[in-house]
Every structure is written in C-alpha cells, then in structure tokens.
Amino acid sequence: MTEDTAPRRSGGRLARQAARADRSTAAVVPYLTRTMAPFEVVSEEGLALIEHNADTILEQVGIDFRGDPDALRLLKDAGCDVQGERVHFPRGLARTIIQKSAPRVFTQYARNPARNVQIGGNATVFAPNYGSPFVSDLDNGRRYGTIEDFRNLVKLTYMSPNLHHSGGTICEPVDLPVNKRHLDMVDAHIRYSDKPFMGSVTAPQRARDSVEMARIVFGKEYLEDHTVILGLANANSPLVWDSVMLGAARAYAEANQAVLVTPFILAGAMAPVTVAGAATQTLAEAMAGMAFVQLVRPGAPVIFGSFASSVSMQSGAPTFGTPEPALVLYTVAALARRLGVPFRSGGSLSASKIADAQAAYESANTLQPTVLGGVNFVLHAAGWLEGGLTVGYEKFILDADQCGMMGTFVRGVDLSENGQALDAIIANGPGNHFFGTAHTLANFETAFYRSDTADNNSYEQWAEDGHMDSAIRANAIWKKMLREYEAPALDPAVDEALRDFVAQRKASMPDSEL
C-alpha cells in the first residue's frame, strides 16, 4: 500500500455534497480589487479641456443652491461670488477646496468587520438597486414595492456573495407612511444583513435619524472617526442643488459620514446631447456639491457620482446600455481620478420591463464599462429594470451572477508557476486531454467562474429539465435563498435600543404622505 500519510479519504458523497452545496464557506471577498489599469477614452489634453470648460461653467453661469441660506453663507465665506441663490466659483476654487480635505480613499465599516469595504483606489464595491417604486417577479408581476419586498431584497443582498454592500432604498416601501418608512428601511439593513449600508436622504431629519440608528449600532464616538453610513445626494440637474439634498448631505457630513454627490443626467433632457457636454456639466455640478460637503466638515468622505444616460429623441424616454453613456462613464471616471476622489457610476442598467434579452444586453453594456472604467462604488448593480422604476427579483439574481464574473475578471492573469502551467503542458504532451492531469486535478474546482444562473447542459437535458429560460431559473434561486435565509446575529442590547428608537420616532409624529 501507499506510504502516503496525507488524508486521502475526504468523507465520500455526503461530505462532498455538503461542501459543494455550501459555497458560503468560500472566503468572503468583501470587494473587488482591480489589478488592471482603468480603460480610458479621452486624452490628457481632452480631460484638461473638459476641466477647463467645467470651471468656465462654475465661474460664468454658476450653480443654484436653492432654499439653503446656510449653504450660501458657507460658500460665500469660502470665496464664491454669491448672487441671490446663484453661486459662482472662481476658476479652480471648487477643485482646491475638494483636494484640500476630501479623502482619496476611505473605508466604510460594516457591523461584521469581514464585510468592511474600501471605497476608492483600485477597489470596486457592488451595491444593489436603489429607489424603485415598483417591484416585479414572475409569480406576481409588477406592483408597488412593500416593506416585505424591501426586507426580501435586503436578505437576498446579504446572501449574495458577489454583492458587497446592502445599499439603501433597494425598493421604495410604498405601503408605509412617507415620513416613517426610512426607519424601517435602515432597521432592515441593520437587522437582516451585516454588510455596510446607506441611510435616508428624503429629508434632513430622516438623514439624521439614519445616522442616529448607525450610532446605536456602532457607538456614538465610533462615528467620529469611522464611516459607517452613506447618503446619496443627487443634483437637480441642470446646475441646481436643492435644499432637501443639501440638508441631507449636511446631516451626513456633520456626522463625518459619507456623501455620494451625484448629478443625475439624462443627456438631451438635463444636459447637452454630447458626451463631452454631459461630462463637463457632471463635473461642474459634482464639484460644487463636493466642495459644499468639504466646507460643512473638512475631511468628511465624499464620492463623486455620475448617473448619466441618454434619452430617446423620439419619445423623451430614458435609454440604457447604449454606447454614449458608456463613453460618458469612462470620461467622468478619469476626471474623478484626476480630482482625487472615489467615483460612483454604472450598475446593471436597462430600460427593459422584464429579465429578457434587452435587459441582459443593456445591463452587460453598462456593467462592463463600470468595471473597466474603474468605478469604485456601484449602485444599481443588481435588480434594475425599466429605467429604475422597477426592481425585479429574477433580474436581481441574474445581475448578481454577472457581478461575480466581474470579480473574477478583475483579478487579471495569474503568472505564478501554477498559472503558467508549463509543467502540465510538457507532461501531458500532444493529443491527450487535460481533464485528468495532476494540474487540472489540483485546480479544477476554482479554475473557472461557475455561474449559478446559466444552463450549459445539452439541449436534451435542458428540455428534460423543463425548457427553463434564465428568468425561470432565477425565480427558483431567489425563492430557495429566501427559504434558507438566516439572519446574522444582532447584539440583544442593540436590537432592543433600535426597536425603542424606531418606536419612539414613529410615536413622535403622525403619519404623513410627504
């Protein structure tokens, strides 16, 4: 018999089945670490020209900061020329303010430290869909989202190894009063997941409630030097920041928490139709917003966001996954790197109503530029349909699988001895297959990304299994995930304090629909 003392028996069928079924034992990869240089589409001279033009807009036209006298005072004191609510930034001022104090890279801490995410540099963080009033699935079709849907989507995100962040308003829980639903949303992110999450921005008080709930989880002092929550502040393009978004941004910045500053641009409607025009306006609006945040609290983390798509000039409807927004993404990503702040854009965007071929193509045409362009924080990475009006359960599952593929792709080419595989080729020689070689046996299990949603079987096998398309397969997957979901442990004291806070806040005001 063999002299080999290494364990040979691995437990047979039961052990293998258990190991293969439980992929959660695979090491947690908390975010992508890109190994390749980002793809660029504009020359240095071109980027400098766009920056010059953005400064021209900030100086000559200026940006409206509406309904927030405190913001106007802050910007005036910093050297802006303020005429009424119109704020003119002298050339270079916004950039100087941002570069003086905004971190290039920061960590968002999660209640499970293994899930902390790096935001900026060569990291890419995938977060799910955000903001959809509707949800859809194959069983119940399209309907308004509820808090039950919201909790389901938090759970699915928690269980998806390829999504790194719990996100924020994954769907809008339309069944709850407008002035209270943020409490249940933040509560769900904390209770049903241990990944990092986002808070509310629909009113400054709701942003402050969100931060307060984060303090309950992490401790009051912890937030002073740790980022644990993000708020998403969108510019009201073109060239307007409104009081709600400024108030929310201020609430997060004052608590030293992170603000995503995102001009929301559908080129043709809120910006010029050209790539350079949309990029220029995005840069001007984002710099104005980020400068404001740095004036509120120097050093508070900001993320330069760009949501840019085009519209159908036949109908005015937004379009996704088309070439021009990809060019905008690549361009603005390069501008963010030159500015020296983390960048948010992209996702798995589509105008399709269901998880069909249009949804897949358009999402892929968005997700690939997202990753190749070096986006640091990716909202809408999973579930997005219908231009964001709907989050689809099946689409969510299919998108999360694609995010996993990106995770493998960005690791690049392994040139270690094992990666070179020269010995394997020499030993195997011409004409012999590699399925049984020592090198294959040592590597096969992790050699290739394994899709959970693709069917690679023979036609006959596929037919026998019921002619299922990818959406039908995804339907079975999310149902199984929800059946198997188990909540991560939550400190009982935190649990109780959270419940008390939510109950007390709800009792403190009547239900309101605004």
Partner 1 sequence: MSDEQELDLTSLDDAELVEQMHNDLYDGLADEVAQGTNILLGRGWGPEKVLAEALVEGMRIVGVDFRDGILFVPEVLLAANAMKRGMAILRPLLAATGAKPIGKVVIGTVKGDIHDIGKNLVGMMLEGAGFEVIDLGINTDADKFLAALEEHQPDILGMSALLTTTMPYMKTVIAALKERGIRDKYIVLVGGAPLNEEFSQAVGADAYCRDAAVASETAKRLVEARRAAA
The yes or no reply on residue 460 touching partner 1 (CB under 8 A) is: yes
From the list 6-14, 127-135, 280-288, 294-302, the region that binds partner 1 by CB under 8 A is 6-14
Contact between residue 129 and residue 170 where contact means Cβ atoms under 8 Å apart: yes
The yes or no reply on residue 7 touching partner 1 (CB under 8 A) is: yes
Exposed e or buried b for every residue in 441-454, given b needs 16+ CB within 10 A? eeeeeeeeeeeebe
For partner 1, which is the closer residue by CB, 35 or 461? 461
Helix (H, G, I), strand (E, B) or coil at 368: helix
**Residue (of 187, 157, 159) closest to 173 by Cα position:** 187
Burial grade of 494 (CB within 10 A; 0-12, 13-18, 19 or more): middle
Pairing assessment for the beta strands 258-267 and 318-319 based on DSSP bridges:
unpaired
The yes or no reply on residue 429 touching partner 1 (CB under 8 A) is: no
The yes or no reply on residue 314 touching partner 1 (CB under 8 A) is: no
Helix (H, G, I), strand (E, B) or coil at 150: helix
From the list 3-11, 173-181, 227-235, 321-329, the region that binds partner 1 by CB under 8 A is 3-11
Contact between residue 82 and residue 256 where contact means Cβ atoms under 8 Å apart: no
From the list 104-112, 288-296, 409-417, 454-462, the region that binds partner 1 by CB under 8 A is 454-462
From the list 1-9, 134-142, 240-248, 351-359, the region that binds partner 1 by CB under 8 A is 1-9
Cis before 238 (ω within 30): yes
Our CA dihedral for 370, 375, 376, 379, rounded to 10 degrees, sits at -50
The yes or no reply on residue 2 touching partner 1 (CB under 8 A) is: yes
For partner 1, which is the closer residue by CB, 420 or 432? 432
List of residues 6+ apart from 112 with CB closer than 8 A: 194, 195, 488
Pairing assessment for the beta strands 229-235 and 258-267 based on DSSP bridges:
parallel
Segment holding 302, helix H or strand E: strand 302-311
For partner 1, which is the closer residue by CB, 422 or 441? 441
For partner 1, which is the closer residue by CB, 9 or 483? 9
Q: Considering the complex, what minimum distance in angstroms separates the CB of residue 461 from partner 1?
A: 7
From the list 170-178, 207-215, 305-313, 441-449, the region that binds partner 1 by CB under 8 A is 441-449
The yes or no reply on residue 476 touching partner 1 (CB under 8 A) is: no
φ, ψ for residue 42 (rounded to 5)? -125, 140
Q: Considering the complex, what minimum distance in angstroms separates the CB of residue 459 from partner 1?
A: 7
The yes or no reply on residue 449 touching partner 1 (CB under 8 A) is: no
Q: Considering the complex, what minimum distance in angstroms separates the CB of residue 431 from partner 1?
A: 8
Q: Considering the complex, what minimum distance in angstroms separates the CB of residue 400 from partner 1?
A: 19
For partner 1, which is the closer residue by CB, 2 or 314? 2
Q: Of residues 44, 70, 445, 496, which one binds partner 1 by CB under 8 A?
A: 445
SS (H, E, C) 239-287: CEECHHHHHHHHHHHHCCCEEEEEEEEEECCCECCCHHHHHHHHHHHHH
**Interaction mask 11-40, partner 1, x per CB under 8 A:** xxx--xx--xx-------------------
Q: Of residues 441, 487, 489, 503, which one binds partner 1 by CB under 8 A?
A: 441
DSSP sequence for 383-420: SEEGGGTEEEHHHHHHHHHHHHHHHHHTT----SHHHH
Q: Of residues 1, 37, 426, 514, which one binds partner 1 by CB under 8 A?
A: 1
The yes or no reply on residue 433 touching partner 1 (CB under 8 A) is: yes
The yes or no reply on residue 458 touching partner 1 (CB under 8 A) is: yes
Pair of tokens at residue 138? 């194959």
Q: Of residues 113, 430, 436, 492, which one binds partner 1 by CB under 8 A?
A: 436
Contact between residue 272 and residue 281 where contact means Cβ atoms under 8 Å apart: yes
For partner 1, which is the closer residue by CB, 113 or 430? 430
The yes or no reply on residue 83 touching partner 1 (CB under 8 A) is: no
Angle in degrees, CA 329, 334, 335, rounded to 5: 95
Q: Considering the complex, what minimum distance in angstroms separates the CB of residue 417 from partner 1?
A: 20
Pair of tokens at residue 194? 């241990």
For partner 1, which is the closer residue by CB, 297 or 439? 439
Burial grade of 412 (CB within 10 A; 0-12, 13-18, 19 or more): exposed
Contact between residue 251 and residue 294 where contact means Cβ atoms under 8 Å apart: no
The yes or no reply on residue 461 touching partner 1 (CB under 8 A) is: yes
From the list 259-267, 408-416, 459-467, 483-491, the region that binds partner 1 by CB under 8 A is 459-467
From the list 64-72, 286-294, 372-380, 428-436, the region that binds partner 1 by CB under 8 A is 428-436
Q: How many binding residues for partner 1 (CB under 8 A)?
A: 24
For partner 1, which is the closer residue by CB, 53 or 440? 440
Q: Of residues 459, 466, 486, 492, which one binds partner 1 by CB under 8 A?
A: 459
Q: Of residues 3, 9, 37, 429, which one binds partner 1 by CB under 8 A?
A: 9
**Residue (of 420, 422, 347, 415) closest to 385 by Cα position:** 347
From the list 36-44, 368-376, 433-441, 468-476, the region that binds partner 1 by CB under 8 A is 433-441
Spatial separation of the C-alpha atoms in residues 226 and 299, rounded to whole Å: 12
List of residues 6+ apart from 312 with CB closer than 8 A: 318, 319
Name the residues that contact partner 1, by CB under 8 A: 1-2, 7-13, 16-17, 20-21, 433, 435-436, 440-441, 444-445, 458-461
